[in-house]
Amino acid sequence: MPERLIIAIDGPAASGKSTTARLLARQLGYAYLDTGAMYRACALQAQRKGVDLGDERAVQSLLQDLDIRIEISGETNSIFLGSEDVTAAIRAPEISALASSISALPPVRHKMVELQRKLAASGGVILDGRDIGTYVFPNADLKFFLIASAEVRANRRWLELKSKGIEADPEQVLRELIQRDKNDSARALAPLSKASDAIEVDTSQMSVAAQVATLHRQVLKRLDIPAVLLAKHSGFCFGVRRAIQLALDASQSGDKVCTLGELIHNPQIVGKLAEQGIRLCGEDVSNSKVIIRSHGASKEVLAQLLSRGNEIIDATCPYVKRAQEMVSSMAGCQVMILGDPGHPEVVGMISYGDEKTRVVQADTDFGTEVWDTLCIVCQTTQKISDLQTLVTRLLPKVKELRVFNTICRATSERQQSAQALAESSDLMVVIGGKNSANTRMLQQLCQTITHSVHIENETELTPDLLTDYARIGLVAGASTPADTILAVYNKIMKIIGNTEAATRFEEIPLFKEESC
């Protein structure tokens, strides 16, 4: 359980404090305390009672009778005067000006600060205001000072009023804001100022999401939590490793070697193999050793190669082979292969069946079809949820349903660890060939949980892809090499301003699933 911090966010009006604080509190599971709302409630009461702020005794008596209550539920604050909910009423423009004046009075500040300290003492809270980092909590764990140009801030305030149906003159909003800045900065007690240890953030050109992400990254840093984590199961699987090794071994022999289609769905690896002389088979494969890629090949293609006398190096993934054998062993049964009909693995698999074998997807329309017996086999890189959907849809239409879960372990593991990481990430970066089925499945899965991008390598990463997100998860398909994952990790770290590059794949921090 990480330490629960007290986080101070100070800054002038409309610099983005409350919006940022609220959203950050939601992301961290913290409480939010809007200290300005307290001064506003005080101002509202003074206005209702017609208190002259220059009359010390009248102010003292106002404070004595003042029954301010603030109900905090996560990032939501409801403020009450007695039993009346004044959360909306305190946002009127005349109350803004009066709050600024009343907040300069020492007895008012003492009462409010006492309340604020009490409410936030146990930590796990974000407070926004003018003096949180300098006066209310000078020892706050983390302090921010948000700024923005007066024009930008006045425009935000004007838009906010407009959204509430309040028509205001933009010039006047700007004048009042500048006046309020002056009042808040010039008062004798706890004026608006930046604490020496506060992190300044200029929000003038930032989106709200970018503001929140900027602060969230600092929270992670303060808590020593890595901002970028790699899913526990990522990158090369056993079948891919084996296929590459078989191809490299074959090329060592000095014989002509070619692969029947891309050995794996990763352009970088295919390019590297080509540099070693291992190219795709052309029309003429005579005198060549032919490598069957990890996706396998159809029965007919194998028979043709054998009849031509080619030496075959079979790099078919053992899991794919098992699925092919299953299809073959079910001859006579109506077989459905859950998969992508155009994918080479499925093209190979279907050749092991007969006229009763067909390829389906989770959402295939079966119309009024019914069956006595059905057998289901999967392309090894399918999503388990799609298999579950298909089974659920078929059950009412069949007397006997035999399901063979041929989704390979590496695929299931990658999907499970991607899912776990996505659940605690603001952005998932899915790395792998655009033509890689298992990588595309990871992307599909992740984007149902959080924001997600699929990239082939680090060259596709730009700062604007990352600015809105603090916690970034990485996952890579079974055909993605470790050096690509490392390059992506280092580029992200550089973009987010972290200079701690990893020199080896093993140095990338892993997401610990058991800790969530």
* Site residues, ligand DC (CB under 6 A): 13, 35-36, 39-40, 96, 99-100, 103, 129-132, 180, 184
Contact by Cβ (8 Å): 442, 419 = no
Write phi, then psi, for 305 (nearest 5 degrees). Answer: -65, -45
Residue placing its CB nearer to ligand DC in the complex, 100 or 452 = 100
Residue placing its CB nearer to ligand DC in the complex, 135 or 236 = 135
Which one of 345, 456, 460, 513 is the catalytic residue?
A: 345
Q: What whole-number distance in Å separates Cα of residue 472 and Cα of residue 488?
A: 12
What would the two tokens of residue 47 be? 């206005």
Query: If we measure between CA atoms, which residue out of 353, 368, 415 comes closest to residue 388?
Result: 415
Q: What whole-number distance in Å separates Cα of residue 112 and Cα of residue 122?
A: 17
Q: What whole-number distance in Å separates Cα of residue 218 and Cα of residue 9?
A: 13
Residue placing its CB nearer to ligand DC in the complex, 99 or 445 = 99
CB of 77 to ligand DC, least distance (A): 11
Q: Is 283 considered catalytic here? A: no
Residue placing its CB nearer to ligand DC in the complex, 170 or 261 = 170
Please, which residues have CB within 8 angstroms of residue 308's CB and are 6 or more apart in sequence?
Answer: 285, 286
Q: What's the distance, Cα to Cα, between the start and end of the chain in Å?
A: 10
Q: What whole-number distance in Å separates Cα of residue 481 and Cα of residue 372?
A: 45
Residue 320, SS3 per DSSP: helix
Run of H or E including 47: helix 35-49
CB of 95 to ligand DC, least distance (A): 8
Residue placing its CB nearer to ligand DC in the complex, 18 or 288 = 18
CB of 181 to ligand DC, least distance (A): 9
Q: What whole-number distance in Å separates Cα of residue 339 and Cα of residue 497?
A: 42
Residue placing its CB nearer to ligand DC in the complex, 35 or 411 = 35
Q: What whole-number distance in Å separates Cα of residue 213 and Cα of residue 491?
A: 18
Please, which residues have CB within 8 angstroms of residue 14's CB and are 6 or more apart in sequence?
Answer: 148, 153, 154, 156, 157, 160, 177
CB of 40 to ligand DC, least distance (A): 6
CB of 67 to ligand DC, least distance (A): 19
The bridge status of strand 371-378 relative to strand 334-338 is parallel
CB of 99 to ligand DC, least distance (A): 4
Residue placing its CB nearer to ligand DC in the complex, 181 or 314 = 181
Question: Could you identify the residue written with the tokens 């959402």?
Answer: 363
Strand partners, 85: 80
Q: What whole-number distance in Å separates Cα of residue 150 and Cα of residue 202?
A: 12
Residues assigned a catalytic role: 345
